[in-house]
Structures are given as C-alpha cells and as structure tokens.
Amino acid sequence: MATKIDKKITGYNVVKPEDKAAEPAAASPARAAAPKQAEVIQMHESVERPETLVGSTFKIKSPLFEHALYVTINDIVLNAGTRYEQRRPFEIFINSKNMDHFQWIVALTRILSAVFRKGGDVTFIVEELKAVFDPRGGYFKAGGVYMPSIVAEIGSVVEQHMKNIGLIHDPEMDEATRKLIAEKRAAYEALGAKKGAEADGAPGEGATGEALTFPAGSMMCDKCNTKALVLMDNCQTCLNCGYSKCG
C-alpha cells in the first residue's frame, strides 16, 4: 500500500538485515538484568498430584465401632525450598476392619479430597463435620471431650492435622487466664486430696482409675465441649478453656 508524503524529506537511512538482528540481541542483556519475579503456586484443581506426598495417620477408637478407624491425610508441598513453602491437604483415606459403614466412608473421603484439591480456604470443613450429630447419641473420648458422632470425631482429626501444618491456629490465651486456670486446678486437686485423707485413706474426688486429664466428677463445658467444669467458691469454672458462668 502506497503512502503519500506531504512534508519535505530532510533525511533518510537504509536499514540493513543485520541491523534488525542486532536489535533483539541488544534488548536481551537488559531483559536479563531485570530481577526475575518468583512465581508463587497456590492450591487449585489444576495442580497435579506428585509421585510422593507427606502426611499423617490418626487412630480413632470409638465405642460405636468394634474396630478402630485409621484416618490418613496426605499433604502436597507447594513452593518447596522457598520462603513461600506451605503444606496443604491433598487427599484423605479412612481404613478399618469394620465394613458396615464402608459405603459412606468412601463417599466422605472422596468428597473431602475433592474439596482439598479445589483450593481456597478449606478450614470450613472442620466446623461442618463437627456439627454432625448422631441421633443415637454421642460419646466421650479420652480426656473427657464429648463427640456427638463419629463424623464429628473425623472432623476433629482433620482440625488437628490442619493445626499441625499451620492452617488453623488456636486462639491465644492471655497469661492471666492461664494463671487463673492453674490456680483453680491446684486448689481443686488439693481439696480432693484433703477429703480423701479425712476418709481414712479413701481416694479423693480427683483420684480415680480413669485416664482422665481433668478431675473426676467434672461437668460438661458449654464453650469447649470438654468435661472440665468444676464448682469452686460457688462458681462453675472450666479447667480447660477458662470459661466461667460467673463472668
């Protein structure tokens, strides 16, 4: 296509083929001198599964099942070797000798694995699982923690794993609350020991054969769902989270 020149030509220059090749070569050192930006990989459904994953296995022993459940959660390591390195849950498996609930267990693990691989904030899964209640009633696990269902305990296992890899953090308890809980617990145990001594060597209220973390006879705490609520000075106080019905 011809181009009409309306202005007076003041000069011209002939561009040779070798001059065109020299221009990209001159731009390359400048491009190489620019700092290379790190590409941070986030978890999404297009991330392929590597050959090897790291993970943890948890044992669930419930009175609802004859055999224990073994929950394995495998993690993918993103941005390995950089300051952006992080572990994210990638898949979950549940194994047991008990085959009565095989169908819903397989369905649950596949759905959870799909949610993990989708990316984003997956911590909401914990509250959803822990909110499942068994119409036949729940049970207490070791330490006096109440579990409303076996699904809720699976959610508790997922929560513990997410805490281990840094996805979930426990709220920090201030030093004054820690000190108050320690004082209340020491006073309660001392009172139990005194009652035991007055009963001619009979075991006190806190000395039982059960492997409980908190004194025997503790009531359920409405806040942390743990049997750690004791009555002292006419006030019910939780020895686990510090909750008090007296404010």
Of 126 and 222, more confident: 126
2-6, 34-38, 110-114, 177-181: which has the highest mean pLDDT? Answer: 110-114
For the chain, percent of residues with pLDDT exceeding 90: 33
Classify 63 as helix, strand or coil.
coil
Closest CA to 192 of 157, 160, 216: 216
Output the CA–CA distances (angstroms, integers) from residue 122 to 111, 231, 233, in the order listed.
12, 39, 43
Which pLDDT value is given to residue 38?
56
Give the predicted TM-score (pTM) of the model. 0.62
Residue 160, pLDDT above cutoff 60: yes
Of 128 and 12, more confident: 128
Q: Tell me the residue type at 172.
A: E
pLDDT tens digit string along 218-242?
Answer: 777 777 777 777 776 677 778 777 7
The tokens describing 100, both together, are 């009565």
φ, ψ dihedrals at 27, nearest 5°: -80, -20
Which pLDDT value is given to residue 244?
76
Residue 165, pLDDT above cutoff 50: yes
